[in-house]
Each structure stands twice: as C-alpha cells, then as structure tokens.
C-alpha cells in the first residue's frame, strides 16, 4: 500500500481528534460572574486541553517520522495503525471527562484520571507496536543493528511506563496523574528515535 494514502487517512483522524478537544473550552457567558472568574474556574479544561493537544500533536509528528522512513507497509501495519487511531479518537472523550471531574474529588475524579491515562497508555502501546513491527520485519529504509534496534525500541516505548505509573497515581491524586501525562509529552517532544537512528546508521 502507498504510504501517502495511509498518512492522508491518519492525518484526517488526527485533525478531527485535535479539533474535538476544543469543544470543551466554553464559558457560561455574561450573568455568571466575571469573565476572569469563569476562566479561572475552567482551568482543568484548559490544562487537560493543552496536554492532550500537545500529545496528539506529538503523535502526528512522530507518525510522520516513522512512516516516511518505511520501505514497505504490510497488512499488519495497517491494522496496527488502525489500533493507534482507535485510541487517538478516544482522547477527546477522555480529556473532557478528566476536565469535568478533576476538581470534584473522590472516586469519580480518580476514575476519570485513570481513564485519561489509560487512553494515552493504549495509544503508546499501539505506537510502540508499529515501531517494533517495522524494525522486526525490516520495513525501515535504513536497517538498525540488533543492539541499536533494542535501544531505539526502549527509547520509543518508555512512555508506557510513565502512563502505567500515572494510572496507579490517578487513584491517589487526579492532578498528579495529569502532571505525569504532561511530563511524558515533554519527553517525546525531544525524543526523535526514528530520525536520529536512521541518520546515525546512514552510510
């Protein structure tokens, strides 16, 4: 399959998911207190929106980096990409739920935070499987030595540990789980495994 078609379909899904995030950014309007108070009261929505927007944006950037370095796309990669998109489109729902319950406290806020982190964990697993399958079946344009491949896979997948920790932390502090998701996103801003490894191994 032509990677351009897969990327075009994926780009459309990313665009819809990232747009849906903004639907929760509303204020009650005049007659419900000052605008400054309403904006301050909605800080969970803005915080969750920022982290989710950043995460989906990073997914899109790294998705492009991976697929431009593939020499072949097989049927398994197509299904793994669909699995990734399955979790991407769940992020707006998880974000809205997290924002709604973050300040409530109690069991609902913990469950909402765990759901939020769970969506990111599922996305991370699917993304790591795409990278692992590509390396394992030699679909990369520039092949990695076994040791380099293992290190690259670890670097690419390490976010899963953060999200798993975040799921556990969510049942103690929903806000702490949100912070962890932000830290994982910050890590992937700078982690560029496919491009860096390809450049390092290029003749």
CA angle 131, 132, 138 (to 5 degrees): 90
Q: How does residue 91 score in pLDDT terms, banded at 50, 70 and 90?
A: very high
Question: What's the average model confidence in pLDDT over 89-112?
Answer: 91
Helix, strand, coil abundance in the chain, percent, nearest 5: 80, 0, 20
pLDDT digits (tens, 9 = 90+) for 137-160: 888 777 777 777 788 888 888 889
Among 12-26, 82-96, 108-122, the minimum mean pLDDT is found in 12-26
Provide the 3-class DSSP secondary structure of residue 90. Answer: coil
- 140 strand-pairing partners: 70
The secondary element (H helix, E strand) that includes residue 194 is: helix 193-201
pLDDT at 115 over 60: yes
Provide the 3-class DSSP secondary structure of residue 123. Answer: helix
pLDDT for 192: 63
Q: What percent of the chain has pLDDT over 70?
A: 92
Q: How does residue 193 score in pLDDT terms, banded at 50, 70 and 90?
A: low
pLDDT at 202 over 60: no
Mean pLDDT score across all residues of the chain: 86
Question: What's the average model confidence in pLDDT over 82-98?
Answer: 95
Provide the 3-class DSSP secondary structure of residue 105. Answer: coil
Q: What is the DSSP letter of 36?
A: H
Distance of CA 70 to the CA centre of its chain: 21
The total of other beta-carbon atoms located within 10 Å of residue 129's CB is 19
């Amino acid at each position: 399959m032509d990677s351009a078609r897969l990327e075009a379909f994926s780009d459309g899904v990313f665009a819809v998911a990232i747009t849906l995030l903004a639907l929760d950014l509303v204020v009650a309007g005049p007659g419900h207190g000052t605008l400054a108070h309403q904006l301050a009261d909605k800080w969970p929505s803005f915080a969750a929106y920022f982290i989710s927007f950043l995460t989906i944006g990073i997914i899109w950037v790294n998705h492009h980096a991976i697929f431009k370095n593939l020499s072949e796309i097989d049927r398994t990669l197509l299904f793994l990409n669909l699995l990734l998109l399955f979790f991407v489109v769940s992020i707006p729902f998880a974000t809205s739920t997290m924002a709604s319950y973050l300040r409530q406290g109690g069991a609902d806020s913990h469950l909402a935070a765990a759901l939020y982190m769970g969506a990111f964990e599922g996305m991370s697993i699917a993304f790591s499987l795409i990278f692992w399958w590509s390396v394992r079946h030699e679909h990369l344009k520039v092949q990695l030595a076994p040791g380099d491949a293992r290190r690259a896979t670890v670097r690419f997948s390490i976010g899963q540990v953060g999200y798993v920790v975040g799921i556990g932390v969510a049942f103690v502090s929903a806000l702490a789980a949100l912070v962890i998701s932000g830290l994982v996103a910050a890590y992937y801003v700078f982690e560029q495994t496919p491009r860096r490894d390809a450049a390092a191994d290029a003749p």
